[in-house]
Each structure stands twice: as C-alpha cells, then as structure tokens.
Chain A
C-alpha cells in the first residue's frame, strides 16, 4: 500500500472506500428519515430498511407503534418479509389498535408455519371481521396442513359474520377430500307458506311432522314457478332424502347454490345452520355442516325455511350433499 501501490489497486481501493462511505451515508440518511417528523419520509425509510432483512427487525417492530397509520402498516409489510424471526413481532401486532395492522399481520403469519397456528387461532377472536377473515386465510395457507388447523378453521363456520363464515367454508374445503357428492332430488318436495309466521313455534322442522297435506313443489326454480308468484314472506320446504352409507366420511355438508333470500336448515329435526345476510344473499352460494345430524345409510328428513323480502323467492338453485374426509 502507500505510495508504491499500483494505480489500479488504488482505484479499486478508492471505489471500495467510496462505496462504504455512500452506504454509511445512505444508512445515516435512512436513520435520519426514520426520525423525521414527516410520516412520508419515515414510511419510505422503513421500506428501504426492510430490504436489509433481519437487521431491520428491531426497527420494524418498533415502528409498528408509529403514530402514523401508514408507517405502522409499512412496518408490518416489512416484517412480513422476514420469515420466522418476525413471528413474535407480528404476534404483537395482532394486538395493535390499527385494524389494518392486525389484518396485515395476520396475513403475514401465513409464512410462519405451524408455529403461527395458535397465534392465528387467537386472532379468530378479533372484534373485526376482516381480521378474522385474514386469520382464516392465513391458517388455510399455512403449510403443512394439519388436523388441528382444520379444526380451528371449522369452528369459524359459526362465526357471527357471514363474510367470515364464507371464508371458513372455502378455507376448510382445502383440507377435505370429497368422498360422496349427491345432488338432492329437485322434485317431490313438500311446501307450505308461513303467512302467520308460526312455523318455528309449531316446530315445522320436526322430523316426524306430518306434512302429507302440504303442497307439492320442486326446488331448483323460484317458488313463483309453482303458483306463488310475487310471494313475499316465509315458506317451508321439506323432504325425505335417502343417504347411502359412507364409512369413509368424517364429515358432511349441504351445499346450497342459491336460496332467495335467507334460509334456515334442519336435518332430522336438528338445526344445522342458516344463510342470513339479507336481500343481497339471494344469489350467494353457501353451505351448512350436517355431519353431526346426518344418518348414513338411512332416510334423512331435510327441512328448509326460506324467507323472501323482494322479487322472486325460494330454493331456486340446486342443493348438493357432500360427504368429506380430511385430506391426507
């Protein structure tokens, strides 16, 4: 080195020094920006910092508590790229006051593997539906799949929010193999208008109810096709369905492609679920878990109470029984 260092080596040396200096200066600039009163500068600095990988973990975790919402969310975005090391920070973020921080943190935990399952399970109790939805998405994306994960997702089918239920259903399907798929017959259903709204009180869902005097009807078309055109109100559908034996099945659902507008379902007199999101639900597919109520290899009584508040009504799309088992 010194005066006798060849010129090329000196150039290289200066280049290295320059690069280091620039890096130091850049780091200093990022550091300064992170302390800037300007939230836009803080956010951009965080995004640059996140490119450094695990070295940014501490700052990102700290910035989840930034006073500016976009800075907080950028911090979560940065954490989401750091893998398992960020799980504690992301877990902490699930308690943040910012809904979007919690939502994005839950989604980021999808990369956390089975380690994140308990954390996400806890997040299913979040007061905000979109956080619960995100948690379900994350659970479904976690690899490898496990029976425990499936069980957690399955519980969310009873979530009070329909949009969360919908995610739980589709997420749980990823864990299942279908062993029986049986479209319910379209014809030979019994039907009765509930003009006085007495069906619930009189237990029109009871398995042993004598419905022989009820009207005949089909499903797959709105009830207007069968003489009830323009009817606004409640109507009850009943039918006996013969279900084959299925020793492989560990669960079963009834998949409704469309009930205009709301539906409550009983199997063998046992209430199994509902679809109740108002008029907007008229064309939304849904499913109910009938695994506990269904009797394999026997006749099963199905009752559907449908309610319509505008335009056409009834079970206007097909219904399918699916028997499932947990995918290996």
Chain B
C-alpha cells in the first residue's frame, strides 16, 4: 500500500523563484536580539520599552512614553539587561502590579499593528493562576487592545489571547496552546491586519490565530496603557519578568521563513490531471536561507522530501506537489512540513484538507438556479448550478487587456466558494454583461440616431468594444477557468429588447460594405415599418429578397446592432482558458426578431417564460429557440427557463392595478379595464394577499410549475433553469420577489428528483420526431407588419400556436431563413398566421409546397400572394382565462373539422385536454402526454386571470404504428396497450397538470445484462458493459434510462453510480480502481427504468 502511494505521490518539481525587494520591516524581525536602530526608531515603531539605559522608566525611542511603576519594579535580570518585574494579582494579591503609560493618541494604532514582548514566568504562574495580563489599553471598553496569557487548560498549556474593541463590541483572537515553563524566556507576538485576521507567534514560530471576517481597525479610547497587568477591577498581573515590549504599526513577521499553501484549489475531480498543490517558501531572514527542506505526506503514505535552493532575503520559492487524483474519492489530509537546519533550527508544519470528488456522470441534465442562493438550500432543491462569479468591468476596460477580474480578496473568496461547491456537487455560472456596462459607461461608443444624438445603447460594431468583451471573458477564464465547479457563463442577458438603429459613420460604412448602398432613409425604428406606410409597397405583399429595407433590417438584426458579435467575443474569451466542459448560454435569445444568429456562437440558447395564463405556452418560446439554434453553430443547443415569479399584475392584480410592464404577456392585448370601482371591490382575498398586500411578484403556483415543466421536458432541451429565488424559498432576501406559495418549492424538488435526475440522461439524447406541421414566424412580416412574439408567447401568433397543440398537431416553428435554406419538403401542413409580408423566395417555396399537395393554414392577414387552404381568422383573446382557453379549444376543434380529412397525424389523444408530443430514436417513440385541464383555484384564480389548479384527465392516445411495447418511464412499468386496425391504442390517466413520458419500442425489454472482467487489481481499469435487451439478447433500439449502483467491498457506493441513458440499449462504464480502494468483491446492479428489470454482477478487486 505504502509503496503504491509513494509511486503515485512522488512526482515533485519546483518552479522558479521570485525575489522581492523587501524592507527590514517586511522581513522577519530580529527578535532574538536586542532591537536597535531602525527596529527601535523606525517609522513603523509606535513605542518600545527596553527597561535599560540611563533612564529605565521611559521608552527606548525617546518619544516620551514614560512609565509609572505601580507595584512593579525594574529588575536587572532581563533578557537584554534590565526588565520589568511584575507580580501575581487576584487571588494571590488583588493589587496593581503594572507599569502605567499615560494615554496618547499615537498609542492607538489606526490600522494594522503588532504587539510583542519577551516574558519569563515565575513559579507563581502555576496551574492555579488564571489569566495574566501582558498589555491592556482596553479595560472593559469596546476599544483598543488587550494582550493576555490565558489561564491554563487542563493539560497545563496556555494560549495567548488578544481582545480588540470595535466600538459596539469586542472580538477575541486566540493562539494555539503551548507550555510556558518557569524561568524560561519566551518571545510572544500578536499581529492584526485591521481586517479581522490575527496571527500569534512564539519564539519566531507561528502559533496560529483566528479570524473575524468583516472586522476593521480597532477603535481608539482615552485609556492609559498598562504593561504587566490589567487596568482595573480585579488585578491580574503577570507573575514574571517582561522585556523589550514593542508596539508597531503594520503586520510584522517573526518567522525566519514563511511556508504557505498557495494553491487556489483544495478540491479536485477524480483523475483530474491538474491535481497539483502549490506551496511557497519565502525567506524572511535578513540573511540568505540555505538548507531548507520540505516534506509532504498524505495519510499513511511515505513522505516526499524536497530540498530547497539557497534563498536570498525576501526571496520566494514555489514547491509543487502532485496530489494523486487517482485515489478513491474522499477527504485527504496533506501534511506539509518545512525544516530549516543549522544554528537556529526552525520547523513549520501544517495540515491541509484536500477533497477528491467523483467524476461527473455523462449527460447529467443541468438544473440551473438563475440567480444565487444559500448553497445548501440550493443543493437541497435539486439545482446543479447557481450564479455567482463576476468581474470588475471598469478595471478590465481601463487595462485594455485580460487582467485579474476582481480584487484579490474577492478572488480568494470566490475561489473558496468554488472549492466548496465542488465538494457538495454544485457548480457556478457567471453572469457577464460587459456590453451592458459599456452601454452605461462608455458614451463615446454609444449608438446615435439620425440626427447624431447619442442613444444609451452600446454600438457593438466598434472593435474596441468587441475586444473588451473578449478581455472580460478571458479575464474570468484565466482566474477561474481551471475550477471544475466553474462550469458556465451567461452572456449578456437581456440586452436586445430595445436594440435601436444607429446611424454613425461606422454603421453607415459597415452597411455600405455589406450591401453596396446606403441605409434606406425609411429605416427609423428597430422593429420595422408598417408596409402601409411604404409607398409602392408590392400589392401582393411579396418583396424581392434584395428589397433594400429588408436587406437592411436583416443585416441589422444579424450583424448590424453588433450584439451577436459581442456575444461571440465574450464566449471566445471565456473559452480561452476554461476547462473543456465549460459552456456558455445567452438569454433571452428570442427577445429579437426571427433572424438567425441571436446569441452569436454561444453553446446554448435560452429564454425565460412566465407560465400564465396557460403553462403550455412555454412550448412556444422553446420551439422558437430551436428554430433560432437551427441557424447557429452546429453545436448550439437549447435550454429553457421558467420564471418562479409571477407578475402580480398578470395574475392577481392589486385593487386599481393594471398591467404595468409593457412587455408583459398581455402587452399586445387589450388589458383588463381598470376603473375606480375596481379599487373599491373587496371580495375574497387569498391568505398571501392579506399578509403581503403589496407583493409585486409572487410565487408561481405549483401545478403551473409542473405543467410548464412537462411542456419543456417534452422537447429535446439540454437543461432547465429557474429564476426567482426570493419567491421560491422562505426567508431569502426578497426585494420585490415574495414567497407566497410554500408548495412550489417542494414540487420543484420532487420533479427534479423523480424526472430530471433519472430520465435526464435519456431525454437529452432523444431528438424530436420529424415534424409534419410547420409554423412560420416570418421575419419579413415582423419588419413590415410589425408582428412578432419577441419571446413573449403572446398575441395572435401565441394563441394560434396553442391552437395547434390543442389540435394535436405538434408544430415546428420555422423562420424565413429555415425555408430559404431547407425548403418545405418535410412538411405536409404549413401554418401562416401573422404572415402579412413574405420574401420572394419564401413565397415561391410556399407556392411550390402547396402545388405539391401541402396544406396552408392562414389568417385573414396573409399576404395576398398566397391562397390558403384553411382560413383561421385571428381573434382577440378574452381576458378571462377560462373563456380564453375554451375559445382556443373551440378553434382547435374547428380547425380539425377541415384539416383532419386531409392530414393523418402520427399520434393523437382523444381528449383535447391531454396534449401529446412525440420524440423518436430509431424505431422507438417517446410519447409525452401533458394534462392541461385546469380550473380556477383560490391562490390567484379568484381574479379570473389564471386557472392555476389542475384536474385529472383520462385519454386514449392513438399512435399510427401497428405494434409496440409501451413503458411508462416515470412509473418504471410496462403499460398495456391494444392494437386496433394497425394502430396502437394507449390508455393514459393523468393527475392534475401531470405529464408522462411513454417509451414505445418495437421489441419488448426482456433482460438486462452486465459484462466485465472478473478481477482487477487496485490501480487498474475495468470496463463494465450494460445491455438492455430483448428475449433473444439483442439490445433494444432505444435510449433506455438505467440506474447503476456500484458497491465496493465495504458496501460503500462507488464512483459512477447513478443514472444513465443507454443509447441503443447499450452503455459502458470505465472504472479506474483506486490504489487505495477496498480490495475484495465489488457488486454492480443495473436497473432499467422502463420496466424495472435488473441484473447484478460482481468482480474482485485484488491487492
């Protein structure tokens, strides 16, 4: 065992040294000698008494700090000549035994300071004698300082103690205990950094210290200073001799060399190749240091020895120690020791805890808290990520290059949190918006209107701004990118909602270079210009692809406003030094017209959604994100955020209130009329309304959370997010977010535990079933008919999309660019609502699609060039949620009467309240069913705006496949389905707002098999293969959720236990048996979560 560890731990190397020019005050004090020269009269010395010379009763520096001896005397038996002799106080003799120094303001250090003296106990400092006061300028006030040798502990050892006053209270700082023998001189010292951190030293060796973060300098007082005793009350003199008492400004050093743990990492992921621990030795002597040696060891491993080169005074040297990350996960104590031999031997020994954590399982679905919170609470609710890494934009802009992104103190603090986060399986996301900072702080780089007036919006076309964004990303990446718990970054959140047109020379030149002509004069607003206001606009409302205004607006929204390039620059900066798994996301990616490129080259697009009034509306925005990502880089995928908060005005308005946020859901709808009478209506009020009547934002209802959750999980998203910590948990700092529904938190935890964790790895791999119904969100119509959802899921477009769901059509959103690139061949139905204006290419594609038999559903505003097959006229949404939903269901039923004879769905529910959605892997379907049947409750429902309570629903889902074996992945059981006329009929019973995912396979799951080697040596590798198979042993053509539990020989759950998604029914686990793993028989249990079948395997780990 020891041999193995020695091999693993033995990699040591040294880095180059650093030589700093340091003043004598910064180097170790020559405490072993009589202080002289600068050490007595230097600027850093506040006062010193040596009790020597012609006038023994004054300070050695000649500053007039005279001593009044009260019950004490000058003795010739000092460490260096004369000294102060004091005597025991209470209970031996409750009298003063002190040297009093009259108060002077200079004796009250304004900042950091150091107290030191030589002491030699007399026999009276015995077990029975309590505290012995060495210095006191505090007494009982909360000001200044006391320096005490504490009463002995049961083992006879005493600690040094400093009590510091801060005005309102005092704080105590304590050293490690040590023995103080009679008749022996000891040099004792205390340093305080004026920021809550203390250190104690005895005879030049560190004696520990305590910290009180957040504390500042001590508060001065008018008390005299007393040496050798307490100021008053009962007296507690030091029974012994005191010499060379010195009070200095600043934190002084007393060790011949410092030996510091300077790694910023204390936690590592198993098998990580950067498990290096770093220590720094600095020669603090005023002479060269030679012959120093460092030794390191972990647990019972062999020591590793490193000899240091000779170090000049002040010179630092770094020693790196390769921590073996192949050890089994756990907490390890690293013993580090530095030895200086020679005339004055010195040893510094420290122990550090290093944590080694399991490697993450593949494809764990992120559950991101969009915001920050208490780490333990965040973890408890099932979140995998939270936000919390920031940067000082101003400093980085001033530097013009990548620098440390925060102050040293902030960096240290953040790194501590990152280390802690890794140990509790939580990760951090950074929220970075250098562009937003530039918008407010760099007026020279702002946009300008046509008259040349500055607009408060940064112009991202400036190369300086792009470089700045890169520098910010790089700064963060260099500082934190090597922390595994720093996992991602949110890029420039919420910046494009009001991205305004700009007409600077740079803008004009950029567009001219792009298009070959100037920005059209008619371009005024960023959201386009109504076609009615354009003279000679084509009457069929089909514009040429190169219509100058269209060219301009598309350029503006893809490139011209600069944001997409800024996102990319920040993304690339962040990636420059980050670990390989680091990811970025941009939100709200759909708060822009439907032109590809929103978010630049980030890894994920996201967007938040408020679940009211109908939770399934979250699907609209999610599908828009997929359409947007279609035009992004190949790797770009989608995550989705649900708002925990609800706008009060949209759910439960206060009396007299109307929607006050213009961009809220009902922005483009007639809002609930508010009259003076409303304010006087006093009907039923929910409990929370009575308790927090002024709550601006309340908690989403738990059933809404549930249905919205299923609506987004039904889509191939790669992560989920939630915002609104103040509304989610009780007692959080809430601001305007109020916690009004305690059940929501429990529901979220339940959903994560029962769905996301077990099924996430599977669902992340399963793509959508190719859609047959396309839903065009037209950029040309947004720009020339002022249409567009801008991610709010609202208006007629939003309602029409919900109608498609209630009509069981599983639409896919396409943009103009989708059609231009991919055509419409894969579709049978094309929905064109709010498509007033089309480009020529899109119009031609649509006509060709229709000529081939494609069915067009259009509204009354559809461009006259297109003749729809089905008319779906727009409507104004009723404000009452029940009426609105009933209208949508009615419209869906109407649509079906005309469409159904011509369009055969792959699957559908016979109950329109149960919405279906299909995903597909090979021959396997993943059928999602979501129960949308709801009623008004008493949380907000009494206001009539939201139906927040679900009701149970039953349905039969028909799937157009002749056969299949159906598995409920949430319940983990097979479902009995029937085949009728070559169709599969599946009964579904859903609870309120509940969702379900059913896996339908071609062949039944009959067995689970585990294969692998029988034996593996410690330190060796072993491959486990798990197969979910049919009766014949052939792996099923599906991604099957599997739970694996590996137990070591001591019955402890081992690394790589957890949830997987076995693609094509197969998965592998590569085990790295640690050199210190438990030898013996290990077990592996693999359980497929479709029907609950399992298998157990065993292997032996040999010594």
Spell out A's residues near B (CB within 8 Å): 38-40, 43-44, 47, 50-51, 68-70, 73-74, 76-77, 80, 99-100, 103-104, 107-108, 110, 129-130, 133-134, 137-138, 140-141, 163, 166, 169-171, 173-174, 278-280, 285, 309-310
Contacts and interface: CB of A to CB of B under 8 A. Distances in A.
B540 A285 contact: no
Contacts of A140: 539
Given A170-B532, A280-B670, A39 B537 contact: no
B867 A130 contact: no
Contact of A70 (B533, B671, B869, B873): B869
B539 A137 contact: yes
Contacts of B868: 73, 100, 104
B521 interface: no
Given A70-B902, A74-B869, A170-B531, 4 more contacts: A39-B901, A103-B871, A141-B540, A310-B674
Contacts of A69: 870, 898
A103 B536 CA distance: 23
A309 B673 CA distance: 9
A280 B658 CA distance: 17
The 3 A-B pairs of least Cβ separation, nearest first, read A104-B867, A137-B864, A130-B860
Given A39-B902, A130-B860, A171-B539, A73 B853 contact: no
Interface in B839-886: 850-853, 855, 860, 864, 867-871, 873
Contacts of A80: 867
B681 interface: no
Interface in B504-539: 530-533, 535-537, 539
B532 A285 contact: yes
Contacts of A76: 867
Contacts of A108: 867
A50 B850 CA distance: 12
Given A47-B853, A141-B539, A141-B540, A73 B867 contact: yes
B591 to A, nearest CB: 20
Contact of A310 (B673, B853, B867, B901): B673
Contact of B853 (A38, A43, A99, A279): A43
14 contacts: A39-B901, A43-B902, A44-B853, A47-B851, A47-B852, A70-B901, A70-B902, A77-B867, A80-B867, A100-B868, A104-B868, A110-B864, A137-B539, A173-B535
Given A39-B902, A40-B901, A103-B871, A134 B864 contact: yes
Interface of B: 530-533, 535-537, 539-540, 658, 670-671, 673-674, 850-853, 855, 860, 864, 867-871, 873, 898-899, 901-903
A279 to B, nearest CB: 6
Contacts of B870: 69-70, 73, 100
B902 to A, nearest CB: 4
B1089 to A, nearest CB: 40
A137 B537 contact: no
Nearest to A40: B902
Given A166-B532, A280-B670, A285-B532, A107 B855 contact: no
Nearest to A69: B898
Contact of A285 (B533, B860, B871): B533
A140 B531 CA distance: 15
A70 B864 contact: no
A99 B537 contact: no
B533 A137 contact: no
A166 B540 CA distance: 15
A310 B536 CA distance: 34
Contacts of A100: 868-871
A69 to B, nearest CB: 5
A311 to B, nearest CB: 9
A151 B1103 CA distance: 101
A172 to B, nearest CB: 11
Contacts of A47: 851-853
A49 B532 CA distance: 38
Nearest to A171: B539
A279 B533 contact: no
B219 to A, nearest CB: 53
Residue with the highest number of chain A CB atoms closer than 10 Å, among B531, B536, B901? B901
A110 B855 CA distance: 22
Nearest to A107: B864
Given A73-B869, A103-B871, A285 B673 contact: no
Contacts of B901: 38-40, 68, 70
A77 B539 contact: no
Contacts of A77: 850, 867, 869
B1059 to A, nearest CB: 44
A107 B855 CA distance: 18
Residue with the highest number of chain B CB atoms closer than 10 Å, among A39, A40, A134? A40
A60 B480 CA distance: 71
A163 B871 CA distance: 17
A137 B540 CA distance: 7
A141 to B, nearest CB: 5
B478 to A, nearest CB: 49
A61 to B, nearest CB: 16
B390 to A, nearest CB: 38
Contacts of B537: 170
A140 B532 CA distance: 14
Given A77-B850, A134-B864, A285-B533, A70 B539 contact: no
Contacts of A133: 860
Nearest to A283: B786
Contacts of A138: 864
B969 to A, nearest CB: 35
Nearest to B901: A39
A51 B539 CA distance: 26
A171 B870 CA distance: 25
A70 B855 contact: yes
